[in-house]
Amino acid sequence: MPRVRMNSRRVACLSMAFAAIMAAMPVHAVEPYAAPAWLPGGHLQTIYTHLLIHAPQVEYRRERLELDDGDFLDFDWVDGVPGQPVVVLFHGLEGGSDSHYARDLMHAVQQRGWTGVVAHFRGCSGEDNRLPRAYFAGDSVEIERILRHVKSRYPDAPLYAVGVSLGGNALLKWLGESGNAAQVLVTRAAAVSPPLDLTAAGNALDQGFNRNVYTARFLASLKAKSLRKADRFPGLLDADAIEAATTFREFDTLVTARLHGFVDADDYWLKNSAKPLLKSVAVPTLVINAKNDPFLPAWALPTSADVSPTVSLEQPDDGGHVAFPSGPFPGNIDWLPQRLMQHFEARGR
């Protein structure tokens, strides 16, 4: 048969038409999360998913926003059909647009014909930020700055916000503090595995297996960044003490609290936990926490009495931390983006 040659303009038009069709199709109902029998337990679900389940590759368009304070924020975009919704993702601790959950969600967003963006916190886009500050779990000012920027790019499109882990706590804190005013920027929101009680999460991560595996891995990256900042701003941080730190309590006292105006780790954790603010959230918000998440004990999770009527809590027995693997071996991570998209599609219902 003869080969049909198509020019790039026609291909682009067909791609846009396909995306528009996908955008108009309803999202099918997603079953409540159930872990595969071959992958039991919170630790296995977390570690296997993060290391061995591969998320789709996503081609991003990077935008750098220069800030009035002399610093910058980097945004990685996937472009969709004009007029369709926009999804902004706030990543977790030391995460970014290459994180498995970011690629998986942005792929789903792109398949839907929507626009998506991963908003990097300062110092998380592959380049150290310029100022003697970093990012932290309750930076409401930064959350609003990012949301206002994204909204300015697409003022007429519904804006959906997702926060993962640390980013989830920060987003929920902003939503609670903003109350009804948040609806000017955000149509619907979701948080995945947010450490809603930072004290409970910090204590859990600083003990036993958690300390030797998860905390040690996070600190390797966090300490390297902090030591470069200590070298760049002499007298700001205690480099020797940072080198010796082996717990989040030590690191958050030496670095996070020092850079962002808190007394110590306990003061930082207490003042930035989102859980006490959930009763003030006015935007329809889905909060997903697995009861076997190694990062946050089940006893610290909120109940329906702790949240406003606009907040929906989903707390499956399994799922680990930002994992929720599914399917037969070797598994996939499709459940989470499908559930998030279903939540966003529920607008107006």
100 is catalytic: no
Determine the Cα angle at 290 with ends 288 and 291, to 5°: 130
Q: In whole angstroms, give the CA distance from residue 167 to residue 163.
A: 5
Whether residue 23 is predicted with pLDDT greater than 50 in this model: the reply is: no
Distance CA 284, CA 281 (A): 8
pLDDT at 29: 82
pLDDT for 301-314, tens place per residue?
Answer: 999 999 999 999 99
CA distances to 63, 101, 195, 217, 254 from 246, rounded to whole Å, are 35, 27, 20, 10, 12
Burial environment of residue 4 by CB neighbours within 10 A (0 to 12, 13 to 18, 19 or more): exposed
238 noted as active-site residue: no
Which residue among 74, 104, 139, 293 is the active-site one?
Answer: 293
Q: Residue 100: is its pLDDT beyond 80? A: yes
Token pair for 219: 């600190």
Residue 43 a catalytic site member:
no
Mean pLDDT of 178-193: 98
What pLDDT shows up at residue 15?
45
The pLDDT assigned to 50 comes to 97
**H or E element that contains 159:** strand 159-164
Average pLDDT of the segment spanning 61-78: 98
pLDDT at res. 13? 45
- Mean pLDDT taken over the chain: 93
Please tell me the distance from the alpha carbon of residue 274 to that of residue 295, in angstroms, as a whole number: 15
The active-site residue out of 99, 165, 178, 326 is 165
Find the length of the chain: 349
Domains of the chain listed by start with CATH number: 33-195+275-349 (3.40.50.1820), 198-272 (no CATH)
Q: What average pLDDT does range 140-149 have in this prediction?
A: 98
Q: Is the pLDDT of residue 64 over 80?
A: yes
* Range of weakest confidence among 14-23, 52-61, 232-241: 14-23
pLDDT of residue 76: 98
Q: Which of 204, 197, 200, 298 is nearest to 247 (CA)?
A: 204
Q: What is the pLDDT of residue 93?
A: 98
CB neighbour burial string for 178-196, b if at least 16 within 10 angstroms, e if fewer: beeebeebbbbbbbbbbbb
Average pLDDT in the 67-72 region? Answer: 98
**Residues 330, 48: Cα–Cα separation, whole Å:** 10
Among candidate residues 91, 120, 321, 343, the one labeled active-site is 321
Contacts of 161 (CB under 8 A, 6+ apart): 87, 88, 90, 147, 171, 186, 188, 189, 190
Longest dimension (CA), the chain: 74
Average pLDDT over residues 263-284: 98
